[in-house]
Every structure is written in structure tokens, then in C-alpha cells.
Amino acid sequence: MPEQVAEQFEDLEKQAHAARLGMWVFLGSEVLFFSGLFALYTGYRTEHPYGFGVGVEHNTIAWGSVNTGVLLVSSYTVAMAVHMLRRGRNTASALLLGATIFLGLVFLGIKTGEYLKHFSDGIYPGGWGHFFEEHGDPGTKMFFTLYYCMTGLHAIHVFAGMCVLSLLLWKVLRRDIGAWAPHPLAIGAVYWHLVDMIWIFLWPLFYLIPGASQS
């Protein structure tokens, strides 16, 4: 059943614009939500460059890099899904959405493997664990606490994005949305892109930028 224009809107275009505005205001608030954590990271890294360097050195670059590729490709597939839906190709759009959700699962699987590896190494949030008996610098404890907070919050957003995309996949398959009203999928895709965008910054901060111990 095609989407109806709500009574408070004159036409579908105005309804779509209101929905897009709402999503972008939400994304702005999401940026502010993460901004406190990014600011904390910047401040503590400035004060503890050595401790943060130890943390970066301990993280596995390969896993972080693979996850970066996974999220970048997933952004492409969801953008293509929107493109296909705008042209009325619901089946192709559904397949691309399925691929995006699968890539989200791959990302979360790798992230879970990383967390399990950290736990086995004795690295827990808050600076707990035997790893910190050898690496007692307060900066290293702060690095891994921020690592769990920021990547954990990001993982929750990935999961939420997968739920949103699953719902949209259902609507695309039922043809509740299509070329006549593609904006629900376009809005959901924008949320997924923000999740990708946040990881674009998390990757260098936690995996790539060496600290004072290495530079």
C-alpha cells in the first residue's frame, strides 16, 4: 500500500522535507552526543601522549582496517539501494539493503572478536585487569576506558541502524515504499552514513595515530 500524505502536509514533497529536517536535527544531536567523548579523548591524549601510544600499539590494526572497509562498502550499498528504489527497482534495492545489513553483522562480529581478545589480555573498562599491572600509565587506562565507551556506543548505533534498515527492507519488499515515496529509505540511509562517518574518525584515533612512545 503506497504511503499517504498526512493531513497536516499539503503534499508529499513538504512531508518528505519535514521528515528529512527532523532526521538531520537528530543527526546534529548525535554529533553533539559524541562530541563530549571526542573532546575527552583529545584532552587526555594531549596530557598523556605516552599512555595513549601504548594503547594504540596494543590494538590490532588489521581488524580496525577491515572494519573500516566493511563500513565504507556498506555506505555504498545503502546509497545504491536508495538509488534503485528511486527508479522503482524494489527487488534490487532490497538485495542491496540485505547486503548492508549483512555487512553491519560482519562489523559487529569483528568488534565482538576484538573485545573478547582484549578481555583475554586482561583489559577491562575502567583500567581493570592484569594488563594494567604491566602498563600502569594512567593514560593507557584512560585510553582503553574511552575505547570501550566510544566503540561500544558506536556499536550500539550500528545495531540500531541495522534494526532501522531491516524495517525498511520489510517495507521495500511489501512495496509500502517505492519510487513514488523513497524518502523513508533515504532518511534511514542518512542515519547509516552517520554511523559510518563516526567510525571514520574512531579508526585513526584508536588504531592508527602513534603516541609519544613511537614517534
Partner 1 sequence: MSARAEPEAAAQHAEEGPSPRALTYTLIALLVLAGLSLALRFAHLGGFSFLAALLIAVIKASLVAVVFMEFLHEKPTVRFAFATGLSLFALLVVLLVADVLTRTIPPLSNPPGTAQRYHG
Q: Could you tell me which stretch among 68-76, 124-132, 144-152, 164-172 binds partner 1 (CB under 8 A)? A: 68-76
Q: Does 28 bind partner 1 (CB under 8 A)?
A: yes
Name, in order, each residue with C-beta under 8 angstroms of 26's C-beta and a sequence gap of 6 or more: 191
Q: What single-letter amino acid sits at 62?
A: A
Calpha distance 84→166 (Å, rounded): 17
Of 42 and 91, which CB lies nearer to partner 1 in the complex structure? 42
144 phi, psi to nearest 5 deg:
-75, -30
Among 38, 102, 115, 159, binds partner 1 (CB under 8 A): 38
Binding segment (CB under 8 A) for partner 1, from list 102-110, 124-132, 149-157, 184-192 = 184-192
The conformation of residue 180, written as its DSSP 8-state character, comes to T
Is 159 within 8 Å of 109 (Cβ atoms)?
A: no
Among 57, 60, 83, 95, binds partner 1 (CB under 8 A): 83
- Measured between alpha carbons, how far is 93 from 173 in angstroms, rounded to an integer? 9
Round to whole Å and give the CA distance between 121 and 131: 6
Over the window 144 to 183, marking each residue x when it contacts partner 1 by CB under 8 A and - when it does not, the resulting string is -----------------------------------xxxxx
Establish if 91 lies at the interface with partner 1 (CB under 8 A): no
Would residue 137 be called left, alpha or beta, if left means φ above 0 and alpha means ψ between -120 and 50 degrees? beta
Q: How far is the CB of 76 from partner 1 (least distance, A)?
A: 4
> How is residue 151 written as a grid cell?
566503540
Contacts with partner 1 by CB under 8 A lie at 2-5, 11-13, 17, 20-21, 24-25, 27-32, 35-36, 38-39, 42-43, 46-48, 61, 65, 68-69, 72-73, 75-76, 79-80, 82-83, 86-88, 138-139, 179-183, 186, 189-190, 193-194, 196-197, 200-201, 203-204, 207-210, 214-215
